[in-house]
Chains A and B, each alone.
Chain A
Amino acid sequence: MARIDPDNRGLRLTVRYTVLTLIAIIFVFPLIFMVMSSLKPDHQLLTDTSSLRAFLPVGDISVNNYFDAFKRAPVAMFVFNSVLVTGVTVLLSLLVCSLTAFSFVFLRWRGRDLVLAIILATLIVPFETIAIPLLLLSSKLPWIGLHGLTWGWLNSYRVQIVPFIADGLTIFLFVQYFKDLPGELIEAARVEGASWGQIYRRVVMPLSGPVLATAAILKFLAMYNQYLWPLMVVQEEGYRPVMVGLQYFFQLNPAWGEIMAYLSLITIPVLTFYLFLQRAFIASIASTGVKG
């Protein structure tokens, strides 16, 4: 590389950046189109698709589509439902999965290896293959709540939360991380007479920032973007998440401006979140690739 003269090097750099930028355009153009279209009235939105105007904030620009979207559907409720379901699932998942992984790595108990093997085996069962029987099961499960004992979980928050708290991938991520923690720390705490609960809370958890971030991001993406499951188990409007709420915009004549506004509304917060925590997002995907 050292022998390349400066002019040639400049040319090479230009070529490289041009290639990188052209590819970048392929990845962002639909998203730019979405946001720009959400600001335009329907008739302009459709005519603009015939030129580069489709990607520019030109013409009759307003946020009317957003107001109309809120009028057409209970958008705020869908967002609330999604945030609630996603938030609660992520928190419970971090707690339950880290406890399970803690037990596998730091404690010795009868049946441990078998239980771990079973949990890892579930990694090759795609959710789609259990969705149908899980639907039947959920329609028959008992629940004790404000109305006493009731049967059937359909149309509720719990049916969207509880089945997704524990999963093989999250447990696996915690196990991998805990194995690399210095064992002397735990031993020292044991010698000082700390209980397992104290070790979990005061020693292991404070050291687990990176894996908590990884697991939280992966769970967040999976839960917020869920579609198949809420589509099947939630018919009542009051419990619908944002992805299923989309159906409100496809009655007879789709109002494309409103659809683009709704899509932008449910996507931009996630994209912003991603752009701020970009390194953490990418690191969490990368860590699923590091198999033990």
Chain B
Amino acid sequence: MPMPSGSKLTQSNAAGWAFALPGFALMVLFIIVPFVFAIVLSFTNQRLVSPNPTEFVGWSNYQQLLGVGMLTLEPEKDASGAIIRDADGQPTYPRVRTYTRNNPDYPGLKGMRELTSWQSGQNRTYILASDVVFLRAIINTFIFVLVVAPVQGGLALGLALLINQKLRGINIYRAIYFMPVVVSIVVVSLLWRFIYDGNSGLLNNMLGALSFGAFKPVNWLGNPHTALGAIIAMSIWQAVGFHMVIWLSGLQTISPTLYEAAAIEGSTKWQTFRYVTWPGLRNTAVLVLIVITMQAFALFAQIDVMTKGGPLDSTQTIVFQAVQRGYGKQDISGGSAISVILFLIVLTISLVQRYLTREKT
């Protein structure tokens, strides 16, 4: 960001620092110091309250969080070499825990548990993780981001195009679409808990009425297959108005003469969008994408209010895990390590996004 040239300003170190210091000092103390703390603490065994002195433990917090292993097992065979099959005719395999508990031949797998497994020919391959819940949290968070970023960004653009029409009373609609943004996500999450309720929930009742009773009620938040999807839908509902407004301000920077030119050339609506509107929204698109991604990675309040990570860890997220450990279990070092991992993910993704969407010269 270019600052005004200094030619007409005289150097004034004392006044400059005096004006800037309160703000800068507060930011150092409450953002930069904790940020450095997070990195340092993640290599220790620090707890919120502990009688023992803090020690450096190297990478072990990270190993504990991110340790993964792979194990391929052959089916169990009897003395004659035939595969032993269970009652359903499926091959049986040795129990995974015989490899992960005190097995001197597999020291790398010690303490790990099964994350997922699949069949490959006769053999069965297991992905093991030392912290299954945290890896689930990472996977869920990525699913959340990968769905929310394009869907919310796209819907917000659609709404912005709709609201950008010249119609009487359009500002009322704009105000309504934006309304959920000013409502606390905590309030929204509680309301939607009621909407998603398995018995008297509004959603089940509405779907039942629309399908004349053919729809079977679903416990949206209590079912591991629907819980994350339900939270995704609600999160988009709450935040889409925010990005609609950002798109809208981008749309309004496009010169009307371009549209007039397109109209004279007789271009269709789609051509106008493709060759006039969309190129003019380039910078806005990059901004919307980065902002949604950063907000989506911070997913916490919805989880805390609606599901607490359940059912069956299907809605665990990175920040929810950081808080559960750092605050709930007072394990500051574990929570800090998760925070650092989150920061590195966000940083990497925003750098990649910036690179992919860079101005091509």
Interface residues, chain A, CB within 8 Å of chain B? 13, 16-17, 19-21, 23-24, 26-28, 30-31, 33-34, 46-47, 49-51, 54, 96-97, 99-100, 102-113, 115-116, 118-120, 122, 124-137, 139, 162-168, 171, 175, 179, 183, 187, 196, 200, 221, 224-225, 227-228, 231-232, 243, 246, 256, 259, 263, 266-267, 270-271, 274-275, 278, 281-282, 285-292
Contact = CB atoms under 8 A, between A and B. Distances in A.
A264 B81 CA distance: 70
Query: 3 shortest A-B CB distances, which residue pairs?
Result: A109-B16, A100-B23, A132-B326
Interface in B10-40: 10-13, 15-20, 22-24, 26-27, 30-35, 37-38
A254 B18 CA distance: 53
Interface of B: 1, 3-4, 6, 8-13, 15-20, 22-24, 26-27, 30-35, 37-38, 41, 46, 48, 159, 162, 165, 167, 170-171, 173-188, 190-192, 194-195, 200-202, 205, 237, 241-242, 245-246, 248-250, 283-284, 287-288, 294, 297-298, 300-301, 304, 319, 322-323, 326-327, 332, 335-336, 338-340, 342-343, 346-347, 350
Contact of A243 (B13, B18, B184): B184
Nearest to A217: B182
A131 B301 CA distance: 14
Contacts of A275: 175
Contact of A134 (B34, B284, B338, B350): B34
Most buried by B among A17, A20, A104: A20
26 contacts: A19-B162, A28-B176, A33-B191, A49-B201, A49-B205, A50-B205, A54-B202, A103-B16, A103-B19, A108-B12, A109-B12, A118-B24, A124-B294, A125-B31, A126-B294, A126-B298, A132-B326, A163-B30, A200-B19, A227-B304, A231-B327, A246-B186, A256-B194, A266-B184, A270-B184, A286-B245
B173 A109 contact: no
B202 A49 contact: yes
A24 B180 CA distance: 11
A120 B173 contact: no
Contacts of A26: 237
Contact of A132 (B159, B177, B335): B335
Contact of B339 (A50, A112, A130, A286): A130
B46 A136 contact: yes
Contact of A133 (B41, B167, B173, B249): B41
A30 B192 contact: yes
A107 B31 contact: no
A118 B322 CA distance: 26
B9 A108 contact: yes
Contact of B8 (A34, A100, A187): A187
Contact of A131 (B26, B242, B249, B339): B339
Contacts of B33: 137
Contacts of A103: 15-20
A30 to B, nearest CB: 5
A63 B27 CA distance: 45
Contacts of A105: 3-4
Given A104-B3, A175-B1, A289 B287 contact: yes
Contacts of A270: 182-184
A281 B182 contact: yes
B38 A130 contact: yes
Contacts of B17: 103, 109, 111
Contacts of A51: 205
Most buried by A among B4, B31, B38, B294: B31
A199 to B, nearest CB: 10
A107 B17 CA distance: 9
B347 A124 contact: yes
Contact of A266 (B24, B187, B300): B187
Contacts of B175: 275, 278, 282
Given A228-B301, A267-B183, A115 B190 contact: no
A14 to B, nearest CB: 12
